Structure 1
């Protein structure tokens, strides 16, 4: 009962992690304009994401522009695209696989060992998705902090950590917790481990047991017979009449 509740909690954490991964992948708030120095008087905010760049001025709505060329992007942004897409795929497939491994589902109910292994495989996928999320997020954060303290860059080139990075760290924690709970699924060694075919010598043992039972059966029957007195013969009657 407790394991079933833990699995449902892991499933909920995985769903939240998948939603967070979608948000991290789609939001353009990875890098935000740093309002320092001369940028304080500039009433314009710039966000840089994985797929687009957005601008917003004082009284104007946000305007976004998709990147024209993939090769123009820096290496950390290119790697972040691929890793976040892998995280979405792993998390989605992991959740679908975990539905088969849940104790409350009807799939493979008579094979608890197989369900446990499937749940553990789903946990591995969730952990890999967590790694695929936290790697580009931390890499981008490291690049932003390094460039922020770089004295060779002007204030207009400095960026700050965007909201998507914080969402990415929280998402990675949810996915990691979901994967660990699925991996803690206990595999019962007695269930499903004796489903193999019987050994070749098992029919021989059965025949030997049958032969022994048949051999000892007459002895049991002879012992169970009651001892009867012998009936008088004709010779004994003749002796009695002669006397």
Structure 2
């Protein structure tokens, strides 16, 4: 029951993380900057320049927005292309991760035997992790580009942008994906580290390997001193002398016979 609840919780958390990643690709204000006092007029007090993965836009103080869509693929900035590619690769891997985990979850009746379902869940957890790494690499690349321009010396005509809400939402989504992958892996860690049995098959028979020297498979059982004496490597003469020194008790019934 606990395994089932953990897997359901991991499925909800990881799915929410992928939903956050998907939303950031369509959101505006990936980067934004504010410019005040432009145009030499008191009416135009402030203007905003902002961008996302698909267009650059300008919004004036009257809330009128003018946008310019990015042209064909090969004329877009290299880092924007890289961010797009990493996010799309991560989402593709995440799709297969969600499918594998859904089929392999303990609460579903598809996927085959329990061991097969555990392997599917473990594969889905690995896919979640790989997809999350791809996504967080995309956001870090975008952050690095913005920070590099922001902390560089001022150059006329070059705008210094700030990070927008989609970046932070995407980082939260990556954290949720990693957390969900960990929850999945915890429930099926026996796939990687199976239980080791102490039994060995020798000559067609099965024998239990003792856990340590001087211990038997029966807890609390200590061999008698006589057994230790016989099990030691003594000679036949010593054993015969031992039998002479040990008194033999004969019951009354045997004596009568």
For normalisation by structure 1, the TM-score amounts to 0.71
Q: Is 1:47 matched up with 2:50?
A: yes
Q: What is residue 100 of structure 2 aligned with on the other side?
A: 97
Q: Matched residue of 2:73: which SS? A: coil
Whole-Å Cα distance in 1 between the matches of residues 10 and 35 of structure 2? 41
1:130-172 superposed Cα distances (whole Å, 9 cap, x missing partner): 1111111111111111111211423751111111111111011
Report the Cα offset of residue 180 of structure 1. Answer: 1.4
Q: What is residue 64 of structure 1 aligned with on the other side?
A: 67
TM-aligned CA distance change 1:51 to 1:26, over 3 Å: same
Report the Cα offset of residue 89 of structure 1. Answer: 1.1
Q: What is residue 170 of structure 2 aligned with on the other side?
A: 168
Q: What is residue 31 of structure 2 aligned with on the other side?
A: 31
Q: What is residue 2 of structure 2 aligned with on the other side?
A: 2
Q: Matched residue of 1:157: which SS? A: coil
Q: 1:126 aligns with which of 122, 125, 128?
A: 128
Q: How do residues 186-225 of structure 1 correspond to structure 2 at under 5 angstroms?
A: 186=188, 187=190, 189=194
1:25-71 superposed Cα distances (whole Å, 9 cap, x missing partner): 112322111558989x7522122111122322222344433201322
Q: 1:75 aligns with which of 58, 69, 78?
A: 78
1:45-103 superposed Cα distances (whole Å, 9 cap, x missing partner): 12211112232222234443320132232221110000111121112221111111100
Whole-Å Cα distance in 2 between the matches of residues 155 and 9 of structure 1? 50
Q: 1:144 aligns with which of 143, 146, 158?
A: 146
Deviating more after overlay: 45-54 vs 160-169? 45-54
Contact 1:14 1:91 in 2 (8 A): no
Whole-Å Cα distance in 2 between the matches of residues 99 and 170 of structure 1? 22
Larger radius of gyration between Structure 1 and Structure 2:
1
Q: What is residue 181 of structure 1 aligned with on the other side?
A: 183
Whole-Å Cα distance in 2 between the matches of residues 184 and 35 of structure 1? 50
Contact 1:21 1:168 in 2 (8 A): yes
Q: What is the number of equivalent residue pairs in this alignment? A: 193
Q: What is residue 157 of structure 1 aligned with on the other side?
A: 159
Whole-Å Cα distance in 1 between the matches of residues 167 and 22 of structure 2? 13
The runs of 5 or more residues in structure 2 that have no matched partner are: 196-202, 206-257
For normalisation by structure 2, the TM-score amounts to 0.67
Q: What do you get for the CA RMSD once the two structures are aligned?
A: 2.7
